[in-house]
Amino acid sequence: MLTLDDADTWVAVTDEPLPVDAAARWAVRPDCGAVVSFSGTARDHAEGRPGVSLLEYEAYTEQVVPRLEAIVAEARRRWPDLRRMALIHRTGPVEVGESAVVVVASSPHRDVAFDAARFGIDTLKATVPIWKRERWDGGESWGLEPQHIQEVAGPVEAAP
């Protein structure tokens, strides 16, 4: 289900195709000169796994949505000039080329929008329990790269 939490925050988990363009348009405000949009798309390979044909994501929405909200809250604490922020993740099957995650940030100036968007995707990957099944030439598996889920509170370091 896609819902807006408030006028400046949009977090969601959905099994529908992601509204990449709509999220970028939503982030535009008259007081913002910068909108940064990131769309993570399913690709046709992963390290050691050529011929990826399908990704499938599974999430426990009741746990994921509060973590997405916490990421936005921490981004707002770090960058007070952040205006709108969207964190939207897809569940279910995602075909190669389709978007699996969307992060959008807007602010008066580009440095905040870029930093907040980067923080959003990196922190989502490190703190939100979403499981991925991957199908590739010769194999299929759930979560070959398991990671320890961190808490969002405090300074979560983004991956390089």
Provide the CATH number for the domain around residue 114. 3.90.1170.40
The pLDDT, as a whole number, for residue 156 is 45
Task: Please report whether residue 149 resides in a domain.
Answer: no
In a domain, 83, yes or no: yes
Q: β-strands 9-14, 85-90: how paired?
A: parallel
pLDDT at 66 over 90: yes
Structural domain includes residue 119: yes
Q: Flag whether 156 is in a domain.
A: no
The domain of 17 spans: 9-44+51-137
Q: What is the pLDDT of residue 46?
A: 85
- Decide: helix, strand or coil at residue 5: coil
- The rounded mean pLDDT for the chain is 89
pLDDT surpassing 50 at residue 1 = no
Angle at 46 between CA 125 and CA 86, to 5 degrees: 30
More confident residue, 16 or 138: 16
Which tokens in the block code for residue 59? 């999430």
- Answer yes or no: is 153 within a domain: no
> In the structure encoding, which two tokens stand for residue 70, read together?
């916490």
Model confidence at 85: pLDDT above 50: yes
* Choice between 138 and 95, residue whose per-residue pLDDT is larger: 95
- Specify if 34 maps to a domain: yes
State the average pLDDT over residues 98-107.
98
In the chain, the number of structural domains is 1
The pLDDT of residue 61 is above 60: yes
What would the pLDDT profile of 109-157 be if each residue is shown by its tens digit? 999 999 999 999 999 999 999 999 998 998 888 865 555 566 775 544 5
Q: Is residue 78 part of a domain?
A: yes
Q: What is the pLDDT of residues 31-41, one digit of tens each?
A: 999 999 999 99
Residue 101 has pLDDT above 60, yes or no: yes
pTM of the complete model: 0.86
What confidence score (pLDDT) does residue 7 get? 87
Residue 1 placed within a domain: no
Per-residue buried b or exposed e for 126-159, using 16+ beta carbons within 10 Å of the residue's own CB: bbbebebebbbeeeeeeeeeeeeeeebeeebeee
